[in-house]
């Protein structure tokens, strides 16, 4: 895959990475989960969401009725930003083609954006997650239903917010079921 050797971004994220982290899961998945960017664990292992936040993401998915292998998991950025800083707009722009290819290939029937960075970049907005959750958005030409929830790393810091995330997952499930075929 071309992304393995990618050196496109102007801020040279490729110089600091161990490897690119493209995505993982079922390429025929109905649900596509999109996070922010690889962290240290993901950079080492080459797979998104494998650290503590990843374990919590697995639990979140189970709350929605899915095992990790049944969905597809990707990030806005395919390389780890230094010290896990937020992605810059130009990095997101450089990486966007890869995410768009993933969306085109998988053709998910629901996108779950976890965290503000994913939500803002997919929806072209900068509202707080607290305002973006609880309503169905749509992504791209195919108007794929998109639901926003908190990032699992945020839940690790604020476990009392878990209740809201569980509600978001039930909401996503209802949206998905109301738009047709289930897995």
List residues near ligand URA by CB under 6 A.
35-39, 42, 48-49, 53, 75, 153
Cα torsion through 44, 72, 98, 10, rounded to 10: -40
The CB-of-52 to ligand URA minimum distance in angstroms stands at 9
Write b or e for each residue in 145-154: b if 16 or more Cβ atoms lie within 10 A of its Cβ, otherwise e.
Answer: bbbbbbbbbb
Which single residue brings its beta carbon nearest to ligand URA? 35
Of 41 and 167, which has the nearer Cβ to ligand URA? 41
Cβ proximity to ligand URA: between 57 and 110 the closer is 57
Residues near 73 by beta carbon (within 8 Å), at least 6 away in sequence: 23, 24, 25, 32, 33, 35, 48, 49, 57
Nearer to ligand URA, 48 or 108 (CB): 48
- Give me the least distance between CB of 141 and ligand URA, in Å please: 25
Of 83 and 143, the one with the shorter C-beta distance to ligand URA is 83
Sheet holding 23-25, edge to edge: 23-25, 72-75, 31-35, 110-114, 144-149, 137-139
CB of 5 to ligand URA, least distance (A): 20
| DSSP helix/strand/coil, 34 | strand
| Nearest distance in Å: CB 88, ligand URA | 15
Rank residues 25 and 48 by Cβ distance to ligand URA and give the closer one.
48
Per the structure block, which two tokens stand in for 172?
Answer: 């996503």
Minimum distance from residue 180 beta carbon to ligand URA (Å): 28
């Amino acid at each position: 895959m071309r992304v393995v050797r990618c050196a496109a971004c102007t801020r040279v994220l490729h110089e600091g990475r161990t490897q690119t982290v493209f995505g993982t899961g079922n390429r025929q998945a109905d649900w596509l989960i999109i996070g922010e960017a690889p962290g240290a664990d993901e950079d080492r292992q080459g797979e998104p969401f494998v650290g503590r936040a990843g374990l919590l993401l697995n639990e979140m998915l189970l709350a929605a009725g899915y095992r990790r292998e049944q969905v597809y998991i990707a990030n806005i950025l395919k390389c780890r930003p230094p010290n896990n800083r937020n992605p810059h707009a130009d990095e997101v722009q450089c990486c966007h083609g890869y995410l768009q290819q993933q969306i085109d290939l998988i053709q998910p029937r629901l996108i779950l954006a976890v965290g503000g960075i994913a939500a803002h970049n997919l929806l072209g907005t900068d509202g707080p997650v607290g305002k973006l959750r609880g309503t169905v958005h749509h992504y791209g030409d195919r108007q794929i239903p998109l639901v926003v929830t908190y990032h699992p790393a945020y839940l690790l810091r604020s476990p009392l917010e878990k209740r809201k995330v569980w509600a978001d997952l039930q909401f996503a499930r209802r949206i998905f079921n109301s738009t047709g075929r289930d897995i």
